Structure 1
Amino acid sequence: MCLIKIVNNQLLIQPIESIISHNQFKPFIALCTGLKNTRVDTWQSPSQIDIEEDGNARITIERKRNGLRLRIRNLTQNDQGTLKCLGFDQDGKSFSNTLQIVVKATLSKSRKLRNIPSCATWSKNGTIVAGSSNGAAGNDSTALNTPGPFDIDVDGTLYIVDNGNNRIMQWKNGAMSGAQIGGFINQPREIFVSSTGNIYLTDLKPNFNDFDEMYKYDSITNSWVTIIRKLFGRPIGFYVDEDRALVYVADYRNNIIMSYDLNGAALGPVAGVESADGNDSYHLVDPSDVFVDEFSNYLYVADSVNNRIQRFKIGEKTGVTVAGVEIGCEVNIPVDVVITSNGDIYALELFKNRIMKVTNNFTPKCVCILGCPDSQSFYSPDSFQFDTNGNLYVIDSQQHTVLKFNISLDNCGM
């Protein structure tokens, strides 16, 4: 086993035994197997490293006080295999906040975080990848009707809540038509595809006083299996942490983020004050979405009526505003939020019909990326997602389509 590090544009490969006791590495590191001798190659502006992936590999990331540490176990010494890669920012300013994992690697499939550089931009106009090419509503396999939230798996397959047809459509990457999965659902609301490929769905009962439910898709029976029978309040966005067997639900009626286990038990609020509203660090008003950074144990909440994104450390009730007027970066009625591996925040604004990006270590800090004066306008964007390559997908519900905007790294100097 060996460790690779990059110093002064040099790729250094050393036996791990010789450096395991040191703690002086740049953020450009990776672990590998099957290399017996130390050697040095010169690179120009290195930004990624290829490593071998073995089926028995167990790669973990540990957060330490001084940064992050990669650990690898249970590897066989095999010179053959499929090359995967770990990618990193070129800046190298901080070990703890510039580590980036290219999601094509098996390691990244354990999390929903996408690896998107802060310098990335997207095409100004999108292409239709799901729904009728003329934007018309329909109920056959080539059309959608008022599509709502959607998610995307690691292979680029879309799973779309087709509201007007009360169905969930699976739309494979590059396909001209989709296929319904499971049976018909009365008022499907939100869908979540885990990194392991499990599909979760919530519905909204027609009677406001009835309990909404959460389902998991059973591919063997092609049916939806109820896993949580009593979702309190009115669930909108949710996030499933399969590693901890937990579900976090944005309950906009009760102004909280509610937690459940995957056996259906309610565990209580983890953010917000139940049945109370306010704009201080403890309260939420009509939270509409939640995203979990499972590496750092942070909850990010689209606190829509307060026009901000709040971040909560899991286990703590005090939030920090990470997007909003308070920090000089306005977001107007954010209804959907996505966090990337470098901590950048993307938020969909309801009434302005645009997507904003808030960055940690990049200028400008706040920037409109879609729905801006110089880019394609949306009639009614409902939700957005990134694929593993960083391409951006947006639901335009009034046009009954899903649009794809290709990522560009031209501004990144790569």
Structure 2
Amino acid sequence: MLPPFSSLLILLIIAKSTQHIARIEYAGAPSTNSTDIMSYESTCLECVCYAFSSSNSSNYRSFNCYTNDKTCVFFADDLSSMLQIDLNSNFFFTKAEPMYIPIWNTTGINVTTAGSALNQTNHPYGLFIPANSDSLYIADSDNDRILKWLPGATSGILLAGGQGKGWNTTQFNSPREVCLDRDENLYVADSGNYRIQRFDYGSFISQSIAGNGSYNAIGNSFGNILGLGVDLYYNVYVSEYNLARVTKWIRNGTSGIRVAGDGTQGNTPSQLNVPTAFYTDPITGTLYIPNQGGHCVTKWLPGSSYGITVAGVCGQSGTNETLLTSPKCVTFDKYEYMYVVDGVGGGRILMFLPNSLVAIPIITNGLNNPISIAVDTQLTIYVSDWGNNRIVKYILLK
């Protein structure tokens, strides 16, 4: 085996998208577990292009490049710990880039204050920022309206509602969540009316696409709605916290299909426990669901009958970086970092790096029962600070 600091080793870092490629000269990994071999004409870089191109990058992690017969042997694993001295070989392998850890100014800036003017909110609930956009959409619950906030604006634009509490096509009763589809049609969880409303782009008049206005657990009915999402195929997802389920409503469908939870509150993999404002992967339909009663976040793949815990420990509350207390909302940024609104103290905002169960606390004071979170392309964080009747934002420092 090669000594750890062999003078024969030369490390060459070549930038490649979100990873690096490293080369170790005069070294090779045992090649008995690979039958994928190619010949090259001039240099080993031909094998680099083949092994780590976009079409093959999921297949190979390393390879030996033999200079004596101009061949390369490819491996699906990083075998750098198994290297042997080989004067006829160069060993290439992929190296992940150092993880970027963003830092925010933890002194928040008020976007809105308490009230009913267009620069104010009254117990705001759900927030939504479309992909590749910095426009903020607000479910201003107790003002029974939806506001749109453009980047840098000092007041919002009234998109829907604001006509007093009611049932008609221009009114809401305590809207809790808002989202957009890829055509910028607006979807609103009109929770007090037990229905989901869609506003075609530019329209101030809605149509009911799910729910008939009655509280029920069957048919075209809802329980208490706290989460809403839509995917690229116009499928709508709704969480009902008292019915411990998330249902999927196919476009023009007349009833929902249960896609998460078995309908009973609990902490087993097949159950949800007071599901709240979840995140919908628009491409795959994968759901990331906060369990407010279960103190965890679970991931539900399409077609699965059970969830996978991705934050917290289901059934156990706590205040440290591995436990949650009554999480209320989850979202992701452009780096696929996950953000959780947690209920510890007055409320805190946590960030989880990909595949990590250990949180990085971002905001730990100054909030009063935060409900929802959204992150724009500049990593500005917006929080609906429900108890303070405001939207507050936190600016990225680096």
TM-score range, shorter chain: 0.5 to 0.7
The equivalent residue for 2:290 is 302
Q: Tell whether the 8 Å contact from 1:290 to 1:337 is kept in structure 2 after alignment.
A: yes
2:340 corresponds to 1:344: no
Partner amino acid for 1:227?
A: I
Evaluate the alpha carbon distance shift between residue 297 and residue 150 of structure 1 in structure 2; reply closer, same or farther with a 3 A threshold. closer
Q: Distance in 1 between matches of 2:329 and 2:16?
A: 40
Q: Distance in 2 between matches of 1:354 and 1:397?
A: 13
| TM score, norm. by length of structure 1 | 0.65
CA radius of gyration, larger in: 2
Partner amino acid for 2:297?
A: I
Partner amino acid for 2:185?
A: N
2:240 corresponds to 1:240: no
The equivalent residue for 2:210 is 228
- Structure 2 residues without counterparts, runs of 5 or longer: 1-11, 18-44, 61-92, 164-171, 212-219
The equivalent residue for 2:395 is 406
Partner amino acid for 2:227?
A: G
The equivalent residue for 2:71 is none
2:262 corresponds to 1:268: no
The equivalent residue for 2:160 is 182
Evaluate the alpha carbon distance shift between residue 315 and residue 176 of structure 1 in structure 2; reply closer, same or farther with a 3 A threshold. same
Evaluate the alpha carbon distance shift between residue 93 and residue 233 of structure 1 in structure 2; reply closer, same or farther with a 3 A threshold. farther
Q: CA deviation at 1:256?
A: 1.1
The equivalent residue for 1:161 is 139
Identity of aligned residues (%): 25
Q: CA deviation at 1:348?
A: 0.6
The equivalent residue for 2:190 is 203
Q: CA deviation at 1:250?
A: 1.2
Among candidates 122, 145, 148, match of residue 145 of structure 1: 122
Equivalent position SS for 1:389: coil
- Structure 1 residues without counterparts, runs of 5 or longer: 1-6, 13-17, 30-61, 68-90, 99-116, 207-211, 410-414
1:60-91 Cα deviation digits (max 9, x unpaired): xx999649xxxxxxxxxxxxxxxxxxxxxxx9
The equivalent residue for 2:198 is 216
Greater strand fraction, Structure 1 or Structure 2: 1
Q: Distance in 2 between matches of 1:92 and 1:295?
A: 27
Q: Tell whether the 8 Å contact from 2:296 to 2:309 is kept in structure 1 after alignment.
A: yes
The equivalent residue for 1:193 is 180
Q: Tell whether the 8 Å contact from 1:181 to 1:223 is kept in structure 2 after alignment.
A: no
Q: Tell whether the 8 Å contact from 2:128 to 2:138 is kept in structure 1 after alignment.
A: yes
2:368 corresponds to 1:379: yes
The equivalent residue for 2:279 is 291
The equivalent residue for 1:8 is 13
2:378 corresponds to 1:396: no
Equivalent position SS for 1:266: coil
Q: Tell whether the 8 Å contact from 1:228 to 1:262 is kept in structure 2 after alignment.
A: no
Among candidates 21, 24, 30, match of residue 51 of structure 2: 24
2:348 corresponds to 1:354: yes
Q: Tell whether the 8 Å contact from 1:155 to 1:173 is kept in structure 2 after alignment.
A: no
Partner amino acid for 2:189?
A: T
Q: Tell whether the 8 Å contact from 1:346 to 1:356 is kept in structure 2 after alignment.
A: yes
2:310 corresponds to 1:316: no
1:240-292 Cα deviation digits (max 9, x unpaired): 00x22211211212111111112143242111112x22211111111112212
Q: Distance in 1 between matches of 2:290 and 2:13?
A: 41
1:123-144 Cα deviation digits (max 9, x unpaired): 1111122x23xxxx32222322
Greater RCO, CA 8 A, separation 6+: 1
1:270-322 Cα deviation digits (max 9, x unpaired): 11112x22211111111112212345553211111111111122111121111
Q: Distance in 1 between matches of 2:115 and 2:158?
A: 14
Evaluate the alpha carbon distance shift between residue 304 and residue 398 of structure 1 in structure 2; reply closer, same or farther with a 3 A threshold. closer
Evaluate the alpha carbon distance shift between residue 63 and residue 127 of structure 1 in structure 2; reply closer, same or farther with a 3 A threshold. farther
Equivalent position SS for 1:236: strand
The equivalent residue for 1:331 is 324
Equivalent position SS for 1:355: strand
Q: CA deviation at 1:368?
A: 1.0
Q: Tell whether the 8 Å contact from 2:230 to 2:282 is kept in structure 1 after alignment.
A: no
Q: CA deviation at 1:381?
A: 1.3
| TM score, norm. by length of structure 2 | 0.68
Evaluate the alpha carbon distance shift between residue 313 and residue 361 of structure 1 in structure 2; reply closer, same or farther with a 3 A threshold. closer
Equivalent position SS for 1:164: helix
1:19-57 Cα deviation digits (max 9, x unpaired): 89964117xx6xxxxxxxxxxxxxxxxxxxxxxxxxxxx
Q: Distance in 1 between matches of 2:94 and 2:371?
A: 36
